[in-house]
Amino acid sequence: MDQAPFHYQPKCSVTGCERPGLFKVAAPWTYGNIRELKNYGLCCDLHRESLFNRAKVQAESTRLSEGETVGPVGLYQMAPGVRDAGLTRLE
């Protein structure tokens, strides 16, 4: 029996916004051999600048453990069925 793939449309992380989350505000994070995106939130087109700026301030105050690294905060284009590693970072 074939099962249809699960599709999930996340919403913008800004309180009160019900618009689809089109972008992920995140930074490359590593700890040893583990690599992923540190998520600062998802946002719609309307809130991407404010969430991006808030994430940059938050990232500056983040304390890292020994061996842990966090790269610069970026804006990533969300795409259905694409995991973090495959997301495209926008300029």
With 0-12 CB in 10 A as exposed, 13-18 as middle and 19+ as buried, what is 60?
A: exposed
Sorted by sequence, the CB contacts under 8 Å of residue 52 that are 6+ apart come out as 25, 43, 73, 75
The predicted model scores a pTM of 0.85
Going residue by residue through the chain, which has 91 residues, state the pLDDT in tens, using 9 for 90 and above.
566 565 678 999 999 999 999 999 999 999 999 999 999 999 999 999 999 999 999 999 889 999 999 999 999 999 888 888 889 999 8
